[in-house]
């Protein structure tokens, strides 16, 4: 069973987000996989509140920030706990024809890149925090996505580097 609990009223649905989705995926007849995916995408576009999306595997969660960055023209940073998941994101972004970059040591800015991918260990570095601060100050930061957040907080090997993740926000 899926439920979305709203801290505020559901977002405005006047955006042609479905059209943007169809264009991004190059599938003129595609539809939302669920009402929750659609509403979560609208919340991400509005960027007025924190958003936690918990949907089954294969339900289209990764489409949410990908579509949001296209609609609002802001950078979304995606933190992933595994290299294999980072590679999955790269594959999806290439299929969607979205420009992205993988955060590396020494980077201090996101330079208006729509999607920034970062492994968990890179996300807690001062450079990543600085890049978010700069993007936020320039009004180009759209949001922070932590993919597979359940793995990050329950896997012993990730706890040390995620202890200060709240500093990023």
What average pLDDT does the chain have? 82
Nearest to 93 by CA among 67, 54, 74: 67
Q: Please tell me the predicted confidence (pLDDT) of residue 159.
A: 55
Low-confidence ranges of the chain (pLDDT < 70): 1-15, 150-169
pLDDT attached to residue 43: 87
In the chain, what are the domains? 17-167 (3.40.50.300)
pLDDT, tens digit (0-9, with 9 covering 90-100), for 2-16: 444 444 454 555 558
Work out whether the CA dihedral 83, 89, 93, 95 comes out positive or negative. positive
8 A C-beta contact, residue 98 and residue 69:
yes
pLDDT at 94: 94
> How far is the CA of 13 from the CAs of 23, 32, 105, 118, in angstroms?
18, 13, 40, 31
pLDDT at 3: 46
pLDDT at 16: 84
The confidence score (pLDDT) of residue 164 equals 58
Q: What is the pLDDT of residue 51?
A: 77
pLDDT at residue number 2: 46
């Amino acid at each position: 069973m899926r439920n979305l609990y709203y801290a505020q009223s559901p977002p405005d649905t006047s955006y042609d987000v479905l059209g943007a989705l169809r264009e991004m995926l190059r599938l003129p007849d595609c539809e939302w996989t669920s009402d929750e995916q659609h509403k979560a995408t609208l919340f991400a576009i509005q960027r007025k509140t924190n958003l936690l999306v918990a949907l089954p595997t294969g339900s289209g969660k990764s489409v949410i920030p990908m579509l949001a960055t296209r609609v609002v023209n802001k950078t979304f940073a995606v933190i992933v706990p595994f290299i294999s998941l980072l590679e999955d994101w790269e594959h999806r972004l290439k299929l969607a024809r979205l420009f992205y970059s993988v955060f590396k040591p020494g980077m201090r800015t996101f330079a208006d890149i729509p999607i920034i991918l970062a492994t968990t260990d890179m996300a807690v570095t001062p450079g990543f925090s600085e890049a978010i601060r700069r993007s936020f100050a320039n009004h180009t930061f759209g949001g922070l996505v932590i993919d597979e957040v359940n793995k990050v907080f329950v896997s012993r090997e990730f706890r040390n580097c995620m202890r200060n993740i709240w500093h990023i926000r």
